[in-house]
Structure 1
Amino acid sequence: MTDVHALALDFGGTLARPGPDPDGHTVAAALRKLAGTVVPEGFAETFDAVTRRVRRTDQESGGQTPFTEQLHRAAEGCGATLPDLDAAEEAVFTAVPDAEIDPSAARTLRELHASGLVCVLACDSRRPESVRRRTLDAAGILDCFDALVLSSTLGVRKPHPAFYAAVVEAVGRPAGEILFVGDTPAKDAVAPAAYGMRSVLIADERPADLDPSIGVIRRFSELPSYLEGLHAR
């Protein structure tokens, strides 16, 4: 019988179709609706330049720069006035829709959680936890998650080891009892396995260089059958 007692689940590409990232013009339009803000014409271009630099440094360090820090740097770079960065962040991510959760994935998740599995959302995200919680709640699956592990809260991104350490801590069980599920080989399959977790990759076909111990399914709705196969081994 399998000793999988918990699931760590990626979000975009696993449970949901990825949503758009906020660009400078969208951010500027959202901020101009807030009382007390001053957003000059050059803000959009400055914000986009800051975003490119932040992505580069975050990829190199494995960190996750807070979105409020991006806003602060953009404001400093063009003379914008943003008196409340938290309110500014909320306004941006209210204006920019989050990812759309796949209904079949939501049904599968409810089934898995009802079976007694601990479920933890484990994903990279620029969005604050409040926004992601609203998205999960609107899809009727917020109560399926025992915890949310988000890079925007942690300050580190997959595949940083600290991310997987946070997953294990959130689950509250040994790493070997956790199955990590996601669609990015390096972040959602290889790195969790190296940390001691089991992993299954969502992909149309198995990558040629993927370790044979890592499972592959085509879509999240196939996960219950995959787990049943583990039970039969």
Structure 2
Amino acid sequence: MTYETIIPGKFLARPNRFIAHVETAAGLQVCHVKNTGRCRELLVPGATVYLEESANPSRKTKYDLVAVEKGRLLINMDSQAPNRVAEEYLPQLFPGLTSYRRERAWGSSRFDFFIEAAGERWFMEVKGVTLEEDGVALFPDAPTQRGVKHLWELVRCQEEGFRACVLFVIQMEGIRYFTPNRRTHPEFAQALEEAAAQGVRVEAVDCHVTPSSLTPGAPVALRLNG
């Protein structure tokens, strides 16, 4: 996936989860943050960030904040991007892919993809990952009861004869492995481990990131056990 007009800037402040103040060559910009997560380790004063100019002239904010530099890493933090990356990655993830649909409801959940491949029917949930510590990618960066619910719904899908998968799209590259963030949300980590033990397929893929693009990279090793 690609972005259109991108400009760099210096992050100054985030007065609320939707808005950031960024200094650019054209002056101070009030930007929309395309990620409602905490992102405290990313959005630190002075960090270099990248903004996409909106094509909608009637918007209150002219720019969206889509990426940030963290040391040697360039991290995409657009929460809408992982599903688009996952869509590009589907043929590699599911050999024999014949069709897929986005946003398919099942039970009390709405999963990101319903996939038909090699005679099997799959429900897949996608999770974007922006938290990195010492070369390790972690999810979530804040407690997510919705994420726990999705995992147990995927287990129930399998009980009804479907296959189930959760894909962690790591919005950076150069990661050693992925692991659930037990420190932040032990319930999610336990649910992920138990779902995998019950047959839910767990996958992680990193991304090649530039200020103006995000594309699927290579599979990332998993460490699900505590």
Task: Please say whether Structure 1 and Structure 2 have the same fold, judged by a TM-score greater than 0.5.
Answer: no
Instruction: Between the two structures, name the one with larger relative contact order (CA 8 Å, sep ≥ 6).
Output: 1
Structure ID, larger Rg? 1
Higher helix share: 1
TM-score when normalising by structure 1:
0.30
Could you say which structure has the higher strand fraction?
2
